[in-house]
């Protein structure tokens, strides 16, 4: 049977794509951020997961306001990146796993999560930046991917409880896959930031630190946060924390935090990086 071996979190800020393209790993601005990744890459190299579920939020590449799915699951053989309009390098395609995608889709709908399935899904920086951070050389160990996108563009966005429950159902679906494969789940985006309005530039270190603690020890407490409270405390785009909740739901009840890093600012954001290993 498939096994979920751990969860990874990372910010997916577009500027990181440019920093990688320009190899700014030791630049004083970037170093405290990039230093969070080698321990996680080491763990990934040791465990070699065959599949990565990459939870992100599309920022206006695949989806527009004409049709805005609340939850979308990729079911493609490969996922192409594309021009987003402001010049970060376009990545080569990522191999998918459509059979497992459809298994998850069947399970989700049977459990009353009425998702949108996507046989074509252009993936934006929300997907590609985390892949570049965790598998920079795209070597033979780079896992096949299943992108999962949640709407944080347009309110009403899902509640934190719904995001967590979605992750739980998805975790059950993965664990019911008959092949003996190892799976990691990526919760990307966040942490606190706000790009728009007179409150642009808002970052909330205290709230972010609380989220990074509770995501390990007490994710159910986080499901009590209302969406308005999330916007107030994490900023208008800090709602991306929903992706972390989806990731956490898919993991075992107990997790061991193997690695964590937090840095302000990367671009306009408090950037959180974590590796949570599922308890045996």
Rounded Cα distance between 278 and 280, Å, is 6
Nearest CB to other proteins, comparing residues 180 and 198? 198
Helices and strands, counts by H and E, the chain? 10, 10
- The answer to the question of residue 263 lying near other proteins (CB under 8 A) is yes
Window 85-114: residues binding other proteins (CB under 8 A): 85-87
Asked about 155 being catalytic, the answer comes back as: no
Q: Half-sphere exposure (CA, 13 Å, Cβ side) for 84?
A: 24
Asked if omega into 142 is within 30° of 0 (cis), the reply is no
CA distance 52 to 260: 19
Largest Cα–Cα distance in the chain? 52
* 232 binding other proteins? (CB under 8 A): yes
Q: b or e along 43-81 (b: 16 or more beta carbons within 10 Å of the residue's beta carbon)? A: bbeeeebbbbbbbbbbbebbbeeeeebbbbbbbbeebeb
Instruction: Return the closest-CA partner of residue 56 out of 102, 22, 8.
Output: 8
Catalytic-role residue among 59, 125, 155, 263: 125
Look up 193 and say whether it is catalytic: yes
Task: Rule CB under 8 A: choose which of 4, 20, 222, 236 binds other proteins.
Answer: 236
Pick the stretch among 109-117, 130-138, 251-259, 263-271 that binds other proteins (CB under 8 A): 263-271
- Under the criterion CB under 8 A, does residue 217 sit at the interface with other proteins? no
Nearer Cβ to other proteins (165/240):
240
Kindly report the length of the chain: 280
Considering beta carbons, is residue 63 or 177 the nearer one to other proteins?
63
- Tell me the closest approach of the beta carbon of residue 182 to other proteins, in angstroms: 34
Sheet containing strand 255-266, strands side by side: 116-118, 71-74, 144-150, 51-56, 182-188, 3-10, 269-278, 255-266
Decide: is 67 part of the binding site for other proteins (CB under 8 A): no
CB of 270 to other proteins, least distance (A): 8
Pick the closer one to other proteins by CB: 101 or 149.
149
Contact pattern from residue 36 through residue 65 relative to other proteins, giving x for each residue in contact according to CB under 8 A and a dash for the rest: -----------------------xxx--xx
Residue ranges with strand state E in 84-160? 94-95, 116-118, 144-150
Considering only residues 119 to 138 of the shown chain, the ones binding other proteins according to CB under 8 A are: none
- What is the residue whose two structure tokens read 């990307």? 188
Contact flag: residue 194 with other proteins (CB under 8 A): yes
The active-site residue, picked from 59, 103, 107, 193, is 193
> Can you give the binding site for other proteins, defined by CB under 8 A?
15, 59-61, 64-66, 82-87, 153-156, 194-201, 203-205, 228, 231-232, 236-237, 263-265, 267-268, 270
Catalogue the active-site residues: 125, 193
């Amino acid at each position: 049977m498939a096994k979920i071996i751990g969860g990874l979190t990372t910010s997916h800020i577009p500027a990181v794509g440019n920093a990688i393209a320009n190899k700014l790993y030791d630049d004083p601005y970037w170093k405290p951020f990039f230093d969070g990744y080698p321990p996680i890459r080491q763990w990934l190299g040791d465990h070699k997961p065959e599949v990565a579920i990459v939870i992100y939020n599309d920022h206006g590449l695949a989806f527009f306001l004409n049709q805005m799915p609340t939850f979308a699951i990729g079911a493609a053989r490969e996922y192409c990146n594309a021009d987003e309009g402001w010049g970060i390098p376009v990545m080569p395609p990522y191999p998918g796993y459509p059979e497992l995608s459809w298994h998850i889709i069947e399970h989700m709908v049977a459990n009353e999560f009425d998702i949108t399935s996507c046989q074509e899904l252009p993936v934006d920086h929300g997907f590609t930046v985390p892949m570049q951070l965790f598998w920079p050389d795209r070597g033979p160990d780079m896992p096949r991917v299943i992108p999962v996108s949640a709407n944080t563009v347009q309110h009403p966005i899902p509640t934190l409880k719904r995001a967590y429950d979605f992750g739980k159902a998805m975790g059950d679906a993965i664990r019911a896959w008959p092949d003996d494969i190892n799976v990691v789940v990526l919760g990307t985006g966040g942490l606190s930031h706000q790009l728009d309005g007179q409150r642009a530039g808002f970052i909330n270190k205290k709230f972010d630190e609380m989220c990074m603690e509770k995501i390990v020890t007490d994710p159910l407490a986080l499901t009590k946060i209302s969406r308005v409270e999330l916007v107030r405390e994490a900023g208008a785009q800090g709602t991306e924390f929903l992706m972390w909740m989806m990731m956490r739901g898919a993991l075992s009840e107990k997790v061991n935090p193997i690695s964590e890093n937090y840095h302000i600012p990367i671009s306009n954001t408090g950037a959180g990086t974590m590796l949570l290993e599922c308890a045996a």
